[in-house]
Amino acid sequence: MSLDAESRKVHGAAPLIPSEDTELLTRAQRGDVAAFEGLVERHRARVFGLALRMLNSADDAAEVLQESFLSAYRNLQNFRGDAQFGSWVYRIAANHALMRLRHRKVVNQVESPLDGPQFNERGSLVDEVSDFRDAEGEAMDKELREAIEAGAARLGDEYREVFVLKDLEGLSYEEIAELTGATVPAVKSRLHRARLSLRAAIDHFYAERS
C-alpha cells in the first residue's frame, strides 16, 4: 500500500476509478488507497450532512466525518460485499454521531420544550393553520430554510436524531431503534413530536409572512 505522490497520480487518475462502489470496494480491500479515497469522495458529503444535522455543529460534524471514514478504513476487511458500502458507512457515522451526542448530553443538558398544536378542553384545534403544501414544489426560500434550520436546532437531541435518521436519511424504524437503543414505539413517538414541532416552525414562518 503506497501513498506517495507518484502512485496517487497513477491510481488516482480519473479513468482508472470505476463508478461503482463495488469495484472500488474490491480494490480498496486489496489495499488500493486511491480506490478507498474514491469511496470517500462519493460518500463524504452525505456523511457530513448526517453528522451536521444530528450534532448541529460543523466542528463536531467534521470530526465525526474523519472518525467514520477512519473506522470504515480499519474495518474494511470485515465488510461483507452483500451490503451497500454507502449504508454501511452511514451506519458507522450515525453511531459515531450518537456516541458524541450522548457524551455531549452529560455536559450540556438543556432540553427546550417542543412546539405542538394547541387544543381546547374538548380536544379541538384552536390554532389557525397556514397552508404551505404548495411550497413543496417551489425552490427553497432562504428565510424558510433558516426557519427550518432553527426549528431543527431547537429540538432536543433525542427528537432530532430520530428525525434526521428517518426523515432526512430514510432509515427504517427498526434500524433507528437498533442504533439508538429505543423501542420502535418510542422512535415513532419521538418522530411524531419532532414533526409537530417542525411543522409549527414552518407554520409560524408562513403566519408571520402573510
Partner 1 sequence: MIASNCKDSVEHLLEYLDGELNADLRAKLEAHLSGCSPCEDFWKSYSATPGLCRKALIAEMPREVATKLTDFLRLEMNKSK
Distance from the Cα of residue 4 to its chain's centroid: 34
Nine-digit cell string for 141:
426560500
C-beta of residue 175 within 8 angstroms of C-beta of residue 194: no
Which one among 125, 183, 208, 209 touches partner 1, defined by CB under 8 A? 125
Q: Which residues pair with 119 in a beta bridge?
A: 125
Which one among 24, 25, 40, 55 touches partner 1, defined by CB under 8 A? 40
Nine-digit cell string for 79:
465488510
Which one among 69, 85, 90, 159 touches partner 1, defined by CB under 8 A? 69
Which one among 10, 13, 16, 58 touches partner 1, defined by CB under 8 A? 58
- Location of C-alpha cell 426523515: 167
- Residue type present at position 53: R
- Is the CB of 5 or the CB of 106 nearer to partner 1? 5
Which one among 18, 22, 23, 66 touches partner 1, defined by CB under 8 A? 66
145 sits near partner 1 (criterion: CB under 8 A): yes
7 sits near partner 1 (criterion: CB under 8 A): no
- Residue type present at position 113: P
C-beta of residue 184 within 8 angstroms of C-beta of residue 194: no
Q: Minimal CA–CA distance to 62: which of 79, 75, 50?
A: 50
Which one among 132, 178, 204, 207 touches partner 1, defined by CB under 8 A? 132
Torsion of CA 89, 90, 93, 94, to 10 degrees: -140
119 sits near partner 1 (criterion: CB under 8 A): yes
75 sits near partner 1 (criterion: CB under 8 A): no
C-beta of residue 208 within 8 angstroms of C-beta of residue 194: no
Question: Interaction with partner 1 in 83-112: which residues (CB under 8 A)?
Answer: none
What is the contact surface with partner 1 in residues (CB under 8 A)? 1-3, 33, 36-37, 40, 44-45, 48-49, 52-53, 58, 61-62, 65-66, 69-70, 73-74, 117, 119, 122-125, 127-133, 135-136, 140, 144-145, 148-149, 152, 163, 167-168, 188, 191-192, 195-196, 198-199, 202-203
